[in-house]
Structure 1
Amino acid sequence: MDARAPGPGEAPEDPFALHNSASAVLDGHGRVVGWSERAQEHLGYPPEEVLGREALEFLCDPRDREAVRDAAAACERDRGWSGILPVLHRSGRRVELGFRARAVVRAGSAREWFLVVAPAEEVLRWETDRSVLDGLFRRSPIGLSVHAPDLSVLRINRALARFTQLSAAEIRGLRIGDFLIGPDVKTIETRLRRVLETGAPLIFTEQPCRLRSDPDHERVVSVSAFRMQEPSGGILGVTQLVEDVTDRYRARHRLALLNRASSRIGTTLDLAQTTRELADVAVPDLADAVSVDLLESVARGEEPAAREAGGPVRRMAVHSVMAEALRVMYSDGELFRFDPRTPQARCLAEQRPILEPVLRSDPGWYFRDQERRRRALGLEAHSLIVVPLTARGALLGLLSLWRAGRPEPFEEDDLTLAEEFAARAALCIDNARRYTQQHQAALTLQRSLLPQALPEYSAVEVAHLYLPADPATGVGGDWFDVIPLSGARVALVVGDVVGHGLHAAATMGRLRTAVHTLAGLDYAPDEVLSHLDDLVNRLAAEQERADGHPPGQQIVGATCLYAVYDPTSRRCTLARAGHLPPVVVTSDGTVSLPDLPEGPPLGLGGLPFESAELELAEGSLLALYTDGLVEAGGLDLDQGLERLREVLCRPGRSLEETCTDVQDALLPDHPPDDVALLLARTRVLAPERVASWEMPAEPTAAARARHLTETTLTGWGLGELAFTAELVVSELVTNAYRYGGGTPLTLRLIRDRSLVCEVSDGSSTAPHLRRARTTDEGGRGLFLVAQLTERWGTRYTRDGKTVWTEFSLAAAAEGHSEAVANLVLK
């Protein structure tokens, strides 16, 4: 390899430089009259062999003489020539050399030709480098600038001149800040100085910039830079390559925005949250402010109607990096109508996107209302996009995007991106609307199946807390109930159906109805649970057949706690089916979980239930609850029960305040499961409001019962009810005497919110109401009882039965004795 040949990546020296090239001189006849040492090196001929000889004779192959003659003619014509010709080496091989020929005329002599010769390979390489350098400055589409060590511009190419809109002469000597503006100028200069100081090149670094000649448009350039050095190591400056990648950057940026929108919009099925996600994802990368407005019906989770296109909308979400002008004009959740002149109104009416690259300078023209017009002065937006939110062929609302802080107006590409946003978000919004609609329907069904309001009871003071599960979980089957029973007693019920959804809510409604029916029959708590267990088994069998599940696969289940409290005896009888035990707080603040027999959950079948009896002092607090209360917020069962005990034992609060404290202490904002809590504070009927007598089963029992009833009611100030009550008591005592098997009778009168008359005996034979024929002598007694009382029934005890009746105390003030007498006569 020639020692003078350049290394890889190095620029070659000029091959025609005097210290590199060979030279020769020809006279006007083509004879060699001068021959340099370098010519001998290239061709092998010493000077003594060539001087005086004709060059064509020994240097030109016969095959190449035509090309040589053409070159000579061109040189003669143009007084000079340059190019590549093949010549013969002294060894006989052909060698291609680069030639530069110039005519030289000496004084008083003929014209001579001075030839400078170099290897063709070096000439071609040097010409290529010259062509590359010329291409970089004249024809390259990538901008090129050469800077001195102080970063002033030495030279730029034509591409950069077009980009900066300055000529090479105008920009020479300027600094970067003289033709670029904005904070990005310092960043560019800092990076170039780092290249100068370290020598580490800068490669494809994207940088935003603004030209002084066009400050309203931001551009993005890709910059590469390298340091220029002398062979001795001296720093000459820095060269940077600048490519305008604005379109590519924006396309990549829009794609990233779409990907981000796909992952951030629709993360939940909450309608309000979905609209907020849509507003947040577009700010600030696409717009400076975004508002999302939905048709009124859609905001409520209902089906959108075509006639609503020009109707009111509800502002669901606003996100802005500007002043809160949009939020001030229309608050979140506000229902309003757009002025017909606005692009929003046109978008709703025509259901097509609208691009307003330049808005009117006065934003108040959008509003007829003077107050809104005044507040709109804070809205400095200059460009607007309005896109309809449409999904499954239905208009849901609209998306409005505003620009104010950045000077660039919206373009068609921005409109396309906004339409993509709207299309993806509209589908998520419609899914959320449909889920909201279904969830609201399920909640409505669930709440309609629960007690709407609890009346006042003489036996207990009650309060309740019910919270549906988080919407993502779905409605559940928790329920509670307070059911008045005969004898001023009350039944307290809490239950929980397994699972979530409409099926669980419907099952809960069926079980609650069944509990009411069973309570009306005055079954004991363990018997109530046994009947419920049978019902759940039947429901499970029906569901298995409907859904095609294999036989025996339990798909319906529930737990239940059933308690009956008697305010006259202060006794509470409880039974539970797989449910958590109640919490009892006595009047002195003692908290306990009674040790009740734990029956199996409803639906297992075949196992008995047991009842337990507690004696509760007046003012005791009984808390019945579902597992969602004590297992929410990541608590285990023991932690939840302990925290519940701590809250319930705090004195000096109403039951409603206690419910609130329990919610604050145990529940998160969105509990994962339904929560039901029923609090009951026990009361005791005063002894003077209860009268009870035991009498033998003899013929005079009815007369004695009538006398005791009349005397007692007169003492209670219920003389107007005495005649009616005497008739009813006489009939009940007579039946007990006839069919009670001779066991002693008990008559009890209770003055509560109604007058209760009870007759107990040791027989389990139940009286039945029947229609007596005209010729029958009996059979009309219970008919009279049913006509004269508000309610009546029979309950069974371990020792027999009790037939009870209730009279409305309002009858005492209305004077029904005469009407009763007429009924008896009939």
Structure 2
Amino acid sequence: MELLPAVGWALAVGRAGGLPAGVRAQGPPGAPGRSVLVTPLTSGGDQYGLLVTVRRGAPHDRSEAELLALLAERAASHIRHARAHERLSRTAGDLQRALLAEPGRPHPNLDIAVRHLPAGGRTLVGGDWCETVRLHFGRTLLVVGDVMGHGLEAAVDMNAYRSSLRYIASADLPPHRVLRQMDDIAAGEADRRPATCLLARIDPGRGQITLAGAGHLPPLLIGPDGAAALLPVPVGPPLGTGLGGYESVTHPAAPGQTLLLFTDGLVERRGEDIDRSLARLAGLRFPVGQDVEAVLDTVLTGLDARHAEDDVAVLAARPHPRRPPGEPPYGTRASS
């Protein structure tokens, strides 16, 4: 460190010009026997700092100066690209967070929890999304979808699917007809990426769950005792193919059960059969009495989802038990 010149001197020399091979100066005054080269880190007309090299003894020759100038140019180019990437990532992140809005509010007779996890520690989530839509008569439509690909392009297509879902679901159609119309819209746009999707219409009043899928994995139903099982869903093609052929199926829903919808990043592992991956999820044991947030914690921890190879979106929903006659509506208290 004692060989290095004063910072002020190096900066002053770096601002000077006119010497060949990018060399700004050699040897600060009052430092005999020490050779100093100051080379600016310049790329694209911008300067990002200085490369200062010092040694005792013979002065640096021209070939050394030219080599250091080349190294400085390469270093400056990497710095410029890194800063440009940081700005682009920040802008894309802001846009994607705006696209990846929180799902709508369900009816008060339903508790939900949602998590999004990007793969590999990335700051951006791709085309994985969750949504809830209020329907008539206390029913709620739960949705999870996964657009092919990653990054901002997938997020833009995700937002398009999400917008069409909200518009179509407002007509209170059966889940399979919602998928059919979403598929028709997506197939009419040549640049739209295909997507898988799962719809679950929960009717707490009747104790029913109606499912329809577009190439998506089945949901998990967790009982009050903590045991879990996958619910069968009719197989349908991904959205955007224009093939149609979607069907709905209705399952009973008992009080205290929790429905878990998820994208494939939660369970899939490289080189592993998907049936084995789903069996691992269904084999989890859930402590009795967990709320929906704790259920998601159990799932994400049990499957080590924070180290998943793909993006993860997961939604847990639990209907409230049917109210006895005379009990006040959900979210209200009886006054004394």
Question: What interval of TM-score do these two structures reach, taking the shorter chain for normalisation?
Answer: 0.7 to 0.9
Q: Indicate if the aligned counterparts of 1:529 and 1:609 stay in contact, CA closer than 8 A.
A: yes
Segments of 5+ residues of structure 1 without an aligned counterpart are 1-286, 289-339, 362-381, 544-554, 691-715, 717-750, 755-826
Q: Indicate if the aligned counterparts of 1:347 and 1:354 stay in contact, CA closer than 8 A.
A: yes
Is the alpha carbon distance of 1:449 and 1:410 closer, same or farther for their aligned partners in structure 2, counting shifts above 3 Å? farther
Which residue of the other structure, out of 298, 311, 319, is the alignment partner of 1:682? 319
Give the superposition deviation at 1:666: 3.5
Which residue of the other structure, out of 199, 211, 219, is the alignment partner of 1:582? 219
Looking at structure 1, the residues matched to 60 and 181 of structure 2 have their Cα atoms a distance apart, in angstroms, of 70
Looking at structure 1, the residues matched to 91 and 227 of structure 2 have their Cα atoms a distance apart, in angstroms, of 43
**Helix, strand or coil: the match of 2:137?**
helix
Looking at structure 1, the residues matched to 36 and 110 of structure 2 have their Cα atoms a distance apart, in angstroms, of 64
Which residue of the other structure, out of 148, 151, 155, is the alignment partner of 1:505? 155
| Counterpart for residue 133 of structure 2 | 483
Is the alpha carbon distance of 1:571 and 1:344 closer, same or farther for their aligned partners in structure 2, counting shifts above 3 Å? farther
Q: Once the two structures are aligned, what percentage of the paired residues are identical?
A: 35
| Counterpart for residue 281 of structure 2 | 644
**Helix, strand or coil: the match of 1:444?**
helix
Deviations 1:253-294 (A, max 9, x none): xxxxxxxxxxxxxxxxxxxxxxxxxxxxxxxxxx99xxxxxx
| Counterpart for residue 617 of structure 1 | 254
Is the alpha carbon distance of 1:643 and 1:341 closer, same or farther for their aligned partners in structure 2, counting shifts above 3 Å? same
**Helix, strand or coil: the match of 1:598?**
coil
Which residue of the other structure, out of 56, 60, 63, is the alignment partner of 1:412? 60
Is the alpha carbon distance of 1:661 and 1:438 closer, same or farther for their aligned partners in structure 2, counting shifts above 3 Å? farther
Which residue of the other structure, out of 21, 30, 49, is the alignment partner of 1:398? 49
| Counterpart for residue 389 of structure 1 | 41
Give the superposition deviation at 1:347: 7.3
Give the superposition deviation at 1:484: 2.4
**Helix, strand or coil: the match of 2:95?**
helix
Give the superposition deviation at 1:344: 6.5
Greater share of residues in helix: 1
Is the alpha carbon distance of 1:391 and 1:600 closer, same or farther for their aligned partners in structure 2, counting shifts above 3 Å? same
Which residue of the other structure, out of 163, 167, 182, is the alignment partner of 1:532? 182
Give the superposition deviation at 1:559: 0.7
Give the superposition deviation at 1:450: 1.8
Looking at structure 2, the residues matched to 394 and 573 of structure 1 have their Cα atoms a distance apart, in angstroms, of 60
| Counterpart for residue 569 of structure 1 | 206
What amino acid does structure 1 have at the position aligned with 2:210?
T
Is the alpha carbon distance of 1:668 and 1:678 closer, same or farther for their aligned partners in structure 2, counting shifts above 3 Å? closer
What amino acid does structure 2 have at the position aligned with 1:443?
G
Is the alpha carbon distance of 1:597 and 1:399 closer, same or farther for their aligned partners in structure 2, counting shifts above 3 Å? farther
Q: Indicate if the aligned counterparts of 1:451 and 1:481 stay in contact, CA closer than 8 A.
A: no
Give the superposition deviation at 1:389: 3.4
**Helix, strand or coil: the match of 2:187?**
helix
Give the superposition deviation at 1:652: 5.4
Is the alpha carbon distance of 1:586 and 1:431 closer, same or farther for their aligned partners in structure 2, counting shifts above 3 Å? same
Looking at structure 1, the residues matched to 135 and 266 of structure 2 have their Cα atoms a distance apart, in angstroms, of 28
| Counterpart for residue 8 of structure 2 | 342
Looking at structure 2, the residues matched to 444 and 474 of structure 1 have their Cα atoms a distance apart, in angstroms, of 9
Is the alpha carbon distance of 1:584 and 1:341 closer, same or farther for their aligned partners in structure 2, counting shifts above 3 Å? same
Is the alpha carbon distance of 1:632 and 1:664 closer, same or farther for their aligned partners in structure 2, counting shifts above 3 Å? farther
| Counterpart for residue 71 of structure 2 | 421
| Counterpart for residue 85 of structure 1 | none
**Helix, strand or coil: the match of 1:624?**
strand
What amino acid does structure 2 have at the position aligned with 1:644?
L
Is the alpha carbon distance of 1:535 and 1:688 closer, same or farther for their aligned partners in structure 2, counting shifts above 3 Å? same
Is the alpha carbon distance of 1:475 and 1:455 closer, same or farther for their aligned partners in structure 2, counting shifts above 3 Å? closer
**Helix, strand or coil: the match of 1:433?**
helix
Higher RCO (CA 8 Å, separation ≥ 6 residues) = 2
1:3-22 equivalences in 2 (<5 Å): none
What amino acid does structure 2 have at the position aligned with 1:628?
G
| Counterpart for residue 115 of structure 1 | none
**Helix, strand or coil: the match of 1:342?**
helix
Looking at structure 2, the residues matched to 632 and 347 of structure 1 have their Cα atoms a distance apart, in angstroms, of 56
Give the superposition deviation at 1:522: 1.2
Give the superposition deviation at 1:524: 1.4
Looking at structure 1, the residues matched to 58 and 299 of structure 2 have their Cα atoms a distance apart, in angstroms, of 54
The CA RMSD over aligned residues, in Å, is 3.9
Name the larger-Rg structure. Answer: 1
Q: Indicate if the aligned counterparts of 1:343 and 1:386 stay in contact, CA closer than 8 A.
A: no
Q: Indicate if the aligned counterparts of 2:13 and 2:24 stay in contact, CA closer than 8 A.
A: yes
What amino acid does structure 2 have at the position aligned with 1:492?
L
Is the alpha carbon distance of 1:402 and 1:475 closer, same or farther for their aligned partners in structure 2, counting shifts above 3 Å? farther
| Counterpart for residue 605 of structure 1 | 242
Looking at structure 2, the residues matched to 563 and 521 of structure 1 have their Cα atoms a distance apart, in angstroms, of 16
Give the superposition deviation at 1:654: 4.4
Looking at structure 1, the residues matched to 58 and 97 of structure 2 have their Cα atoms a distance apart, in angstroms, of 49
1:292-441 equivalences in 2 (<5 Å): 342=8, 346=12, 387-395=39-47, 397-398=48-49, 408=56, 412=60, 416-441=66-91
Is the alpha carbon distance of 1:559 and 1:411 closer, same or farther for their aligned partners in structure 2, counting shifts above 3 Å? farther
Give the superposition deviation at 1:515: 0.8
- 1:560 equivalenced with 2:226 (yes/no): no
1:233-248 equivalences in 2 (<5 Å): none
Q: Indicate if the aligned counterparts of 1:459 and 1:565 stay in contact, CA closer than 8 A.
A: no
What amino acid does structure 2 have at the position aligned with 1:391?
S
**Helix, strand or coil: the match of 1:486?**
coil
| Counterpart for residue 444 of structure 1 | 94
What amino acid does structure 2 have at the position aligned with 1:392?
G
Looking at structure 2, the residues matched to 672 and 347 of structure 1 have their Cα atoms a distance apart, in angstroms, of 50
What amino acid does structure 2 have at the position aligned with 1:507?
D
1:766-805 equivalences in 2 (<5 Å): none
Give the superposition deviation at 1:561: 0.3
Give the superposition deviation at 1:452: 3.4
Which residue of the other structure, out of 258, 266, 275, is the alignment partner of 1:629? 266
**Helix, strand or coil: the match of 1:642?**
helix
